[in-house]
């Protein structure tokens, strides 16, 4: 029987997506889950266990010490940058061996339907939800891909789309960089976007995004492929990129090229203290921040070309 190593990291729930990204990109975990969190009108009111779980195929070469050292270094970097250690959690690492079928199903116990903005409701495909009259329902199965709508970085993007899309007239186009589960692309179409192209540098999530688009009957308006912002052709009314601040700053020239003259760039995955880095990068490429929605310790600036915003 195939086994996986379950890596458990104790955190403050606000840092769940940040640590999840570290487990995937630094440690190499193909799958990550977080424990159940309950929200009430955008506010976290309960977090059962403050833990992120990452999974690796079982191997005798695995080193708990190396994983702990890598996460400790990242945590120390945040503390040195001014983040209060008490707001991070301990980031202490524990491990256990689990059967493959257990890790692949485990996270499904901790995710339930949630209303993200004024209208959008994200619902796991394995749960039932009776939508209200104004609800826009998105059925989702993220697999090992990012994007369930439970974290502020994703929530801020969806709330921005709810606000921005009605501002455009006619056919509205959108590009989604780092599409993950396809949640933003699907939300865009459900909210009125005519067509979306989504890219991700992780080949394994492209099929997940396509399947989710099909489950929501928007596959004819969504196109997903493996790549980066530089691989997308054309210009778009709305460009979303929910990644990390350093990555966003590095690909800003490519994001700028994707934006129509009157378009809006929605950036997320940004810790509040790193907003100056993003603002500097935007300014260098002729872009100006329109507003900066925020939730908890995260921000999602909306930007466009200088002169578009007052």
Res 62: pLDDT: 82
Contact present, 296 and 42 (Cβ < 8 Å): no
Are the beta carbons of 300 and 157 closer than 8 angstroms?
yes
Q: Which residues of the chain have pLDDT under 50?
A: 36-49, 144-145, 310
Q: What is the pLDDT of residue 151?
A: 74
Q: What is the second-level CATH architecture of the domain 118-305? A: 3-Layer(aba) Sandwich (3.40)
DSSP per-residue letters across 30-65: SEEEE--EEEETTEEEEES--EEEEEEE--TT--HH
Q: CA-to-CA distance for 241 and 257, rounded, in angstroms?
A: 14
Give the pLDDT score at 18: 81
Q: What is the pLDDT of residue 108?
A: 63
pLDDT digits (tens, 9 = 90+) for 268-297: 988 888 899 999 999 999 999 999 999 877
Residues in Cβ contact with 51 at an 8 Å cutoff, skipping those fewer than 6 apart? 8, 9, 10, 11, 34, 35
Q: For residues 34 and 17, give the distance between their C-alpha atoms in angstroms, rounded to a whole number.
A: 9
Domains of the chain: which residue ranges? 3-110, 118-305
Q: What pLDDT, on the 0 to 100 scale, is given for residue 156?
A: 92
What angle do the packed helices 183-190 and 152-164 form, to 10 degrees?
Answer: 20
- CA distances 105 to 188, 218, 232, 259, Å, are 28, 26, 34, 39
Give pLDDT, residue 94: 92
**Rounded to whole angstroms, how far apart are CA atoms 92 and 76?**
13
**pTM for this prediction:** 0.73
What architecture (CATH level 2) is domain 3-110? Answer: 2-Layer Sandwich (3.30)
Model confidence pLDDT, tens digit, residues 218-257 = 999 999 999 999 999 999 999 999 988 888 999 999 999 9
What confidence score (pLDDT) does residue 145 get?
47
pLDDT recorded at residue 309: 57
């Amino acid at each position: 029987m195939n086994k996986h190593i379950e890596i458990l990291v104790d955190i403050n729930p606000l840092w769940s997506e940040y640590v999840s990204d570290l487990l995937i990109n630094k440690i190499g975990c193909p799958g990550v889950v977080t424990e159940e969190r309950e929200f009430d009108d955008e506010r976290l009111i309960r977090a059962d266990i403050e833990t992120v779980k990452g999974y690796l195929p079982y191997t005798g070469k695995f080193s708990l010490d190396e994983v702990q050292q890598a996460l400790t270094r990242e945590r120390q970097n945040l503390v040195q940058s001014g983040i209060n250690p008490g707001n991070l959690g301990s980031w202490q690492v524990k491990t256990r061996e689990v059967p493959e079928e257990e890790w692949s199903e485990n996270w499904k116990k901790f995710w339930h339907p949630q209303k993200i903005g004024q209208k959008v409701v994200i619902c796991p495909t394995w749960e039932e939800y009776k939508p209200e009259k104004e609800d826009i329902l998105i059925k989702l199965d993220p697999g090992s891909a990012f994007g369930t709508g439970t974290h502020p970085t994703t929530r801020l993007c969806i709330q921005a789309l709810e606000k921005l899309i009605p501002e455009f007239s006619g056919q509205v186009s959108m590009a989604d960089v780092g599409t993950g589960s396809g949640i933003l692309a699907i939300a865009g179409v459900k909210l009125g976007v005519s067509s979306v192209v989504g890219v991700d540098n992780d080949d394994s999530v492209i099929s997940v995004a396509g399947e989710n688009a099909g489950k929501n009957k928007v596959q004819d308006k969504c196109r997903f492929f493996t790549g980066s912002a530089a691989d997308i052709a054309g210009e778009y009314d709305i460009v979303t990129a929910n990644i990390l601040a350093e990555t966003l700053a590095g690909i800003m020239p490519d994001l700028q090229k994707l934006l129509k003259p009157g378009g809006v760039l929605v950036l997320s995955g940004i810790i509040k203290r790193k907003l100056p880095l993003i603002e500097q990068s935007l300014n260098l490429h002729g872009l100006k921040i329109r507003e900066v929605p925020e939730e908890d310790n995260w921000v999602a600036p909306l930007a466009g070309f200088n002169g578009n915003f007052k």
